[in-house]
């Protein structure tokens, strides 16, 4: 992209904000809401989620995930040896709505944020015939099943949380997620003897794994590993730290203090340690913000046989940069230490008048990686979209059935609202149509899709009069590491590419302090990345594709003020704010 194209995107940012304030128009299709297929036997189902009665006829999309095209019993987590994963979709008639046919678009998004090709099962085409909500069974003409192959394919390497988007008439109706991951969970493994092996299975090089008694008689345990990432400030590094602490806790229950050492070179090791009880609290709550405050850090000098103490900061600054060391460097990947396998969201009713008082019940069901409901799990609810409204409570906990309820109250603005629930790194969302619906389903689709991945996307749309440049604003909060921008760039551009197929340029905008970081790429550049990822046969090839794409994006990125005036290039911005000049 030439410099003028970036400048064009910057200059039209004000138009972008104004465009989003245009009043909503009626949506042509009958409103369709989202729910889930409850736990069925075979082809039977019952919609047992709490419901608020609505007098208006409408339609509700139900969905589920399974490994069997003949059984739609919901599965939260799969292992990489599963042959295929099927996403089910069907639509029921609510309150006497007439029978109708809809075409459902189903899209799988991998944990790295890129779309993955899927296939229709046998004669399914995506066209489904609706049926009454009180019916006891449904047939092949009422269901759309799309699937991905897993075992023996590159998809088996894409472990983590997957997202599946369901659209009807171009409008995002629901997003669901499932986990694809090895059965061994370092933090939850019942067999202590497997903990060290679990670290190695996770890809870590374990140099020593042991328990000793200190001079004062206190028992402590430690693990020494080669760093998974030479960037001390990466999420992968933090993940390795907490994985090491979790493995030690499983293996050495009598140790009061646990240490994870990352061997920087033969002489120096960066040491992280925490009390065993604090590790227990983290494994139960998954509250990394609280846990990060009780983790200590120092650098151990093997040659001198002692810690550097107050000189550790200078060592870290000199060898890893960033000027001011944060302890620990970045939130973890929510992978091995996350017991949550999936989170399901049901919204009922899924269409509300824009009267400021109408309500819907939002039910989040949390499952662990063994497909069992998780009681006492903290759940947070968020609202985003072109309509307004509130959800209360914002934070609650699941009951003995793994369910947590909240109430959404519609505002007085027509549009669409995505209600996202999150717990332990997993997310799920449902969509409510408010009043006459949204004037820009594509913008709501981008915001809803990113919300389902846990990103706070606040605006989306074209930012130029010619409607060639599509952009999304993603707020990462007041403080974040520069490495944290890579994932939202990929996810943001994927959402833009899927919802604005005619756009020529994709722009992800991320606020930093009182200004904006702007990351542009052409659709051809993004499509090249997507193609390279789908053809990659190893993690090395995949990472090379991401690095090449991000190098291109960063090379064209700019740091601008709120009026679109360039403050600096992205390189200069990083040097000044993150590398100490």
HEC profile of 442-498: HHHHHHHHHHHCCCEEEEEEECCCCCCEEEEEEECCCCCCHHHHHHHHHHHHHHHHH
Q: Is the pLDDT of residue 234 over 70?
A: yes
Q: Are 100 and 30 in contact (CB under 8 A)?
A: yes
CA dist 556 and 84 (Å) reads 40
Over range 166-183, report the average pLDDT: 82
Lowest-confidence pick of 53-67, 91-105, 157-171: 53-67
The C-alpha atoms of residue 41 and residue 198 are separated, in whole angstroms, by: 35
Q: Is the pLDDT of residue 362 over 70?
A: yes
Share of the chain above pLDDT 90, in %: 35
Does a structural domain hold residue 10? yes
> How many residues does this entry show for the chain?
581
Q: Which of 14-23, 24-33, 41-50, 548-557 has the lowest mean pLDDT?
A: 14-23
Spatial CA neighbour of 463 closest among 6, 3, 2, 1: 6
- Please report, for residues 152, 473, 573, the alpha-carbon distance to residue 493 in angstroms, rounded to integers and kept in the order given: 29, 11, 22
pLDDT at 150 over 70: yes
Q: How far is CA 90 from CA 106, 126, 443, in A?
A: 12, 9, 24
542 or 479: which carries more pLDDT confidence?
542
Q: What phi and psi values does residue 385 have, to the nearest 5 degrees?
A: 140, -175
Maximum separation of any 2 CA atoms in the chain, in Å: 80
- Residue recorded with tokens 């990462």: 476
3-state secondary structure of 221: strand
Phi, psi of 478 (to 5 degrees): -80, -20
Radius of gyration from C-alpha coordinates of the chain: 25
CB 435 within 8 Å of CB 354: yes
Sign of CA dihedral 340, 287, 223, 204: positive
Distance from C-alpha of 463 to C-alpha of 167, rounded to nearest angstrom = 24
Which pLDDT belongs to residue 189? 46
- Identify the burial level of 553 via C-beta atoms within 10 angstroms of its C-beta, where 0-12 means exposed, 13-18 middle and 19 or more buried: buried
pLDDT level of residue 377 (50, 70, 90 thresholds): confident
Q: How does pLDDT run across 479-494, given as a tens digit for each residue?
A: 677 778 888 999 999 9
Task: Domain of residue 246: give its range.
Answer: 192-320
What total of structural domains would you count in the chain?
A: 2
Last residue of one domain, picked from the residues 274, 300, 320: 320
CB 101 within 8 A of CB 119: no
- Please tell me whether residue 543 adopts helix, strand or coil conformation: helix
Cis peptide before 349, with omega less than 30 degrees from 0?
A: yes
- Range 195-200 average pLDDT: 79
Note whether 227 and 320 are within 8 A (CB).
Answer: no
In a domain, 545, yes or no: yes
Domain end residue (candidates: 289, 320, 351): 320
Q: What is the dihedral of CA 337, 342, 343, 349, to 10 degrees?
A: 170
- Alpha-helix runs per DSSP H in 252-286: 276-285
Q: Decide if 210 is inside a domain.
A: yes
For residues 69 and 85, give the distance between their C-alpha atoms in angstroms, rounded to a whole number: 9
Query: Do the domain assignments include residue 289?
Result: yes
What pLDDT, on the 0 to 100 scale, is given for residue 6? Answer: 37
Contact 422, 429 (CB under 8 A): no
Model pLDDT for residues 107-122, shown as the tens digit of each residue: 999 988 889 999 999 9
pLDDT in tens, 288-338: 778 888 999 999 999 999 999 888 888 887 877 655 555 565 655 444 345
**Domain membership flag for residue 244:** yes
Q: Is residue 381 part of a domain?
A: no
* pTM higher than the cut 0.75: no
What does residue 396 show for φ and ψ, rounded to 5 degrees?
A: -150, -175
C-alpha triplet 381, 115, 339: angle, nearest 5°: 45
Out of 320, 355, 374, pick the residue that ends a domain: 320
Q: Identify which has the larger pLDDT, 285 or 142.
A: 142
Work out the end-to-end distance of the chain between its first and last CA atoms, rounded to an integer number of angstroms: 27
Residue 567, domain member (yes or no): yes
**72-86, 193-207, 287-301, 490-504: which has the minimum mean pLDDT?**
193-207
Contact status, residue 341 vs residue 370, Cβ threshold 8 Å: yes
Listed in sequence order, the DSSP H helices in 296-352 are: 312-320
Within-domain flag for 12: yes
Angle at 142 between CA 137 and CA 144, to 5 degrees: 120
Q: 294: exposed, middle or buried (C-beta count within 10 Å: 0-12, 13-18, 19+)? A: middle
Compute the average pLDDT of residues 448-465.
87
């Amino acid at each position: 992209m030439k410099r003028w194209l970036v400048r064009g995107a910057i200059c039209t940012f004000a138009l972008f904000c104004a465009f989003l304030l245009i009043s909503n128009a009626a949506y042509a299709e009958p409103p369709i809401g989202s729910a889930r297929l409850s736990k069925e036997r075979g082809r039977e189902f019952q919609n047992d989620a709490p419901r608020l009665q609505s007098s208006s006829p409408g339609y509700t999309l139900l969905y589920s995930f399974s490994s069997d095209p003949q059984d739609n019993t919901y599965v939260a987590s799969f292992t990489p040896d599963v042959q295929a994963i099927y996403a089910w979709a069907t639509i029921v008639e609510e309150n006497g709505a007439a029978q109708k046919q809809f075409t459902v678009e189903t899209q799988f998004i991998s944990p790295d944020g890129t779309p993955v090709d899927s296939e229709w099962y046998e004669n399914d085409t995506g066209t489904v015939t609706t049926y009454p909500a009180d019916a006891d069974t449904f047939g092949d003409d009422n269901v759309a099943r799309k699937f991905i192959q897993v075992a023996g394919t590159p998809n088996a390497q894409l472990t983590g949380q997957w997202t599946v988007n369901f659209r009807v008439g171009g409008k995002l109706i629901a997003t669901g997620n499932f986990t694809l991951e090895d059965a061994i969970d370092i933090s939850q493994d019942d067999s202590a003897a497997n903990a060290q092996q679990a670290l190695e299975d996770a890809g870590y090089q374990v140099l020593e794994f042991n328990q000793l008694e200190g001079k004062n008689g206190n028992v402590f345990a430690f693990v020494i590993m080669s760093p998974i990432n030479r960037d001390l400030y990466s999420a992968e590094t933090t993940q390795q730290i907490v994985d090491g602490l979790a493995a030690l806790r499983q293996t050495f229950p009598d140790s009061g203090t646990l240490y994870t050492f990352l061997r920087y070179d033969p002489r120096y090791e960066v040491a992280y340690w925490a009390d065993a009880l604090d590790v227990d609290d983290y494994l139960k709550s998954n509250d990394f913000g609280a846990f990060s405050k009780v983790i200590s850090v120092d650098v151990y000098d093997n040659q001198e046989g002692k810690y550097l103490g107050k000189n550790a900061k200078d060592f870290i600054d000199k060898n890893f940069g960033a000027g001011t060391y944060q302890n620990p460097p970045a939130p973890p990947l929510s992978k091995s230490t996350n017991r949550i396998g999936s989170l399901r969201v049901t919204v009922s009713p899924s269409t509300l008048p824009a009267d400021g008082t109408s309500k819907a019940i939002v039910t989040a069901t949390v499952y662990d990686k063994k497909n069992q409901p998780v009681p006492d799990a903290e759940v947070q609810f968020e609202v985003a979209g072109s309509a307004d409204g509130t959800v209360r409570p914002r934070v609650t906990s699941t009951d003995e059935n793994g369910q947590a309820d909240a109430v959404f109250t519609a505002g007085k603005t027509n549009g669409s609202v995505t209600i996202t629930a999150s717990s332990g790194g997993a997310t799920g969302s449902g969509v409510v149509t408010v009043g006459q619906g949204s004037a820009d389903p594509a913008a709501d689709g981008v915001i809803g899709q990113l919300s389902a991945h846990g990103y706070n996307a606040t605006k989306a749309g074209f930012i130029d009069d010619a409607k060639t440049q599509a952009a999304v604003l993603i707020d990462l909060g007041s403080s974040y590491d520069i490495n944290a921008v890579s994932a939202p760039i990929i996810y943001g551009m994927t959402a833009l590419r899927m919802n604005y197929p005619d756009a020529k340029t994709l722009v992800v905008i991320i606020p930093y302090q009182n200004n904006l970081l702007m990351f542009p790429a052409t659709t051809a550049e993004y499509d090249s990345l997507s193609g390279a990822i789908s053809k990659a046969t190893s993690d090395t090839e995949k990472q090379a594709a991401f690095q090449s794409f991000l190098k291109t994006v960063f090379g064209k990125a700019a740091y601008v003020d709120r009026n679109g005036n360039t403050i600096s290039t992205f390189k200069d911005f990083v040097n000044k704010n993150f590398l100490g000049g």
